[in-house]
Structure 1
Amino acid sequence: MSPTYDVAIIGAGTAGIYAGYELIRRNPGIKVVILEKGSDIYHRSCPIVTGQVKECIQCKVCATMSGFGGAGAFSDGKYNFTTEFGGWLTDFMPQDRVMDLIYYVDSVNMRFGATDQVYSTETPEARALEKRALENDLHLLQAKVKHLGTEKNLMILKNLYEDIKDKMEFRFQTPVEEIRKTGEGYDLALENGKTVSCRYLIAAPGRSGAEWFAGRCEALGLDLINNQVDIGVRVELPAKIFEHITDVVYESKLIYRTKQYGDLVRTFCMNPYGHVVTENVDGINTVNGHSYSDAALRSENTNFALLVSNRFTKPFDQPYRYGKHIASLSNMLGGGVLVQRFGDLLKGVRTNEHRLSKSFTRPTLNATPGDLSLALPKRHLDNIVEMIYALDKIAPGTANYDTLLYGAEVKFYSSRLELTEELETRLPNMFAIGDGAGITRGLAQAGASGVHVARIISGRLERDA
């Protein structure tokens, strides 16, 4: 019996969406199904965001992390035009091809409402920032970036969903349990007891499905390469401290090598006038940040992550579990995310409600005041403190007593499969894309990976027609 679908896509995050979009654009009438454990874009609702509860209640499926648009749906929508960060697609194809794909995805975004405003790194002001950073042993990664904004990011996704929802089949709230290789393709065993058969399979599980996908790959006999895990804190301070930087490049990605340990620390996901938020990763509360393009929705603060990269050598091979364990310690201590004033951390005292109430920096997240030194390893905290003092040289005020540190922030880099240049696994016609496959880290390259695989499959369909 022939497979029911020409192509099945696991996951409706950025990678899966753009794979589906490109497939139906190039192959009208093709039978495509997207299987997603979360809800559609209209029914993704976090009880914290809607004001029903103040703390995470451990929903079975986290609406912030899963559903149409994936973890990126409620991000602040930074779209970076670069191969220097945001993924590793250049491991599989030339840089110019990756950039062509990134610009193509941007053109699709613009069709559905994305801004045409770009923050350039080629201006004299941006070059002056780079020079000042270098003078203080900080390295500013240069890239053009668009800030879509959390609310406009959702608008783009809604417009995209309306355009494609009747051209392919979506099955929401439909987790996949197992992947089985068959003679003509693949069978996907669903949690509801049903089975979906397909000729081509695209796995785009996203960050929330990374651990699940690793288990399915092991069951299929596919080798995995462990990627790094980044652990740190989210910094929140008055927006004025970084205005001279964010007004020029919007997001400054700064890297510093600590003198004490020689470890790399970097800023990540900078949100001018933004809000600190929580994320649920497999039942563990971690911290993140958002920023709106609408001035009426902005705060008076800027937030960004400070992350320490960790790569482990044998025999240890579980960086994902290590990161979850660190985050779970802060959850154990505070029932969720912890927050501590920088000055309290230096003095070795716990931030409590009284001390926090005296802070000149008002928190945008209702986190538990506590002591990060009880949750994060000493080496990580030493690195973070040294980085804060380095940043203080180019953004005076970063090391203020009332700068707020939220923890833990953990960026999981999914185990990567051994893939071909086509992003195909060792099993024929099974592809892996996006953040959950460990090859991208952000909206731009995730979307690019989906378009790339869709074009590969389209070529094979045309060849076999």
Structure 2
Amino acid sequence: RDIAIRASTAGLRIIPASIRHMGTDRSKEILQSMYLEISGSCEVMMETVVDSVVIRDGRASGVRLADGTVIEAEAVLLAPGREGSFWMEKTVSALGLRIQSLPVDIGVRVEIPAGIAEAVTDQFYEVKAILDTPTFDDQVRTFCMCPHGEVTTEYLEQHDILTVNGHSNRDGNGRTGNTNFAILVSTDFTEPFKDPNGYGSHIARLANMLGGGVLVQRLGDLKHGRRSTPSRIARGLVEPTLKTAEPGDLSFVLPYRHLKGILEMIQALDVIMPGINGKHTLLYGVEVKFYSLKLALDQDLMTSVPGLFASGDGAGVTRGVIQASASGIVAARGILKNR
């Protein structure tokens, strides 16, 4: 409560949420357990490309694979995840379904000494803070906090770009002295623009072009309008956990509007994480989240095509693995209800 009150003085809204931290180190074990549970009652087809949804008599009746094989079904659930957002857009457009563009989330991964965030992470583990920025009134949020974690890269094959991410382990192995998390700026686009995914991948591609991958910059260097160099990074008080990041200048990559929102968020967070607004804080770029379309769905997550359901981030229903998993349960109940 004390943290939420202090946050409100800086214009921050803290969203309370219980977190069950799985940890990167346990993900393989948990996913394997899920696979064994599912495969016991159905066939799981890995690395199988779905080309289109089959519609018969106005109802979804299966899918057509890239090799031409048709798999018949009473219902079809589309859940491609963020990485499948381009596929989702192509698939639903071919069906003539009405879609609504969502804000594209673009930002940076922040890395600080773990002690700066401990007052927050000890209480929340992952604090979810939202700021409506003073300058542009954009919504900026924190995401995917990794106490004592590592900054990592993520290759998005569908977009052919390398972005930044982060993780932390559950059992303490690989524990670092740093904490990292994302600051993401949500930008709404209006007509006639209809390609927020393309916009996000273009910005990530700029970072790849300038640095050959992910860029890293000290906050102080960004504020003073200069690029970070290897020597400046080495003199800093925060040792980068992503050793392959190239020191550079994020102002050549991110639009001014995004940079301004990120800086205003960091300034606001300093109220609950004293020291984060210091010159040694590291910013990695860029981090992009692709879930930028939303289907018109009913309460059972069924589309306007009977028998065709959608769930998860790729369908614009959710923004995170916890919500996505819950939406899968909602869709499953909807499928049973509408049989």
* TM superposition score category, shorter chain reference: over 0.9
- Of the three residues 138, 141, 149, the one matched with 1:266 is 141
Q: 2: CA distance between counterparts of 1:446 and 1:266?
A: 18
Structure 2 residue matching 1:171: 3-state secondary structure: coil
The answer to whether the aligner puts 1:320 opposite 2:197 as a matched pair is yes
What whole-Å deviation, never above 9, does each CA across 1:260-305 have from its counterpart, x for those lacking one? 3232222111111011111223211111111111112211100011
The question of whether the paired residues in 2 share the 8 Å contact of 1:236 and 1:404 is answered with: yes
Shift in Å, 1:191: 2.4
TM-score (norm 2): 0.94
Structure 2 residue matching 1:139: 3-state secondary structure: strand
Q: 1: CA distance between counterparts of 2:155 and 2:96?
A: 29
- Describe the shift of the 1:222–1:355 C-alpha distance in structure 2 as closer, same or farther (beyond 3 A): same
Q: Which position in structure 2 is the counterpart of 1:404? A: 282
CA-based RMSD of the aligned residues comes to: 1.6
Q: 1: CA distance between counterparts of 2:175 and 2:63?
A: 43
Q: Which position in structure 2 is the counterpart of 1:16? A: none
Shift in Å, 1:187: 4.2
Bigger CA drift: 300-309 or 419-428? Answer: 419-428
Shift in Å, 1:434: 1.1
- Of the three residues 170, 174, 177, the one matched with 2:51 is 177
Bigger CA drift: 289-298 or 184-193? Answer: 184-193
Shift in Å, 1:212: 0.8
Q: Which position in structure 2 is the counterpart of 1:210? A: 85
| Number of residue-to-residue matches in the alignment | 335
- Describe the shift of the 1:457–1:375 C-alpha distance in structure 2 as closer, same or farther (beyond 3 A): same
Shift in Å, 1:385: 1.5
Paired residues for 1:218-297 under 5 Å: 218-281=93-156, 282-297=159-174
What whole-Å deviation, never above 9, does each CA across 1:119-147 have from its counterpart, x for those lacking one? xxxxxxxx111111123322211122221
Q: 1: CA distance between counterparts of 2:41 and 2:234?
A: 53
The answer to whether the aligner puts 1:305 opposite 2:182 as a matched pair is yes
Shift in Å, 1:209: 0.9
What whole-Å deviation, never above 9, does each CA across 1:157-206 have from its counterpart, x for those lacking one? 21222222232101101111222212474342222343322221111111
- For structure 2, the 5+ residue unaligned runs are none
Bigger CA drift: 148-157 or 325-334? Answer: 148-157
Shift in Å, 1:417: 1.3
Q: 2: CA distance between counterparts of 1:436 and 1:325?
A: 19
Bigger CA drift: 236-245 or 413-422? Answer: 413-422
Structure 1 residue matching 2:73: 3-state secondary structure: strand
The question of whether the paired residues in 2 share the 8 Å contact of 1:228 and 1:412 is answered with: no
Shift in Å, 1:459: 3.4
The answer to whether the aligner puts 1:336 opposite 2:213 as a matched pair is yes
Shift in Å, 1:307: 1.3
Structure 2 residue matching 1:129: 3-state secondary structure: helix
Q: 1: CA distance between counterparts of 2:135 and 2:293?
A: 29
Shift in Å, 1:439: 0.5
TM-score (norm 1): 0.69
Q: 2: CA distance between counterparts of 1:456 and 1:232?
A: 35
Q: Percent identity?
A: 48
Structure 2 residue matching 1:351: 3-state secondary structure: coil
Q: 1: CA distance between counterparts of 2:9 and 2:264?
A: 16
What whole-Å deviation, never above 9, does each CA across 1:56-92 have from its counterpart, x for those lacking one? xxxxxxxxxxxxxxxxxxxxxxxxxxxxxxxxxxxxx
- Describe the shift of the 1:308–1:414 C-alpha distance in structure 2 as closer, same or farther (beyond 3 A): closer
Q: 1: CA distance between counterparts of 2:12 and 2:31?
A: 36
The question of whether the paired residues in 2 share the 8 Å contact of 1:349 and 1:371 is answered with: yes
Q: Which position in structure 2 is the counterpart of 1:14? A: none
Q: Which position in structure 2 is the counterpart of 1:377? A: 255
- For structure 1, the 5+ residue unaligned runs are 1-126
Structure 1 residue matching 2:306: 3-state secondary structure: coil
Shift in Å, 1:259: 2.4
The question of whether the paired residues in 2 share the 8 Å contact of 1:136 and 1:394 is answered with: no
Q: For 2:266, give the aligned amino acid.
A: I
Q: 2: CA distance between counterparts of 1:326 and 1:359?
A: 27
Q: 2: CA distance between counterparts of 1:459 and 1:341?
A: 54
**Consecutive aligned runs of 4 or more in structure 1 exceeding 4 Å deviation:** none
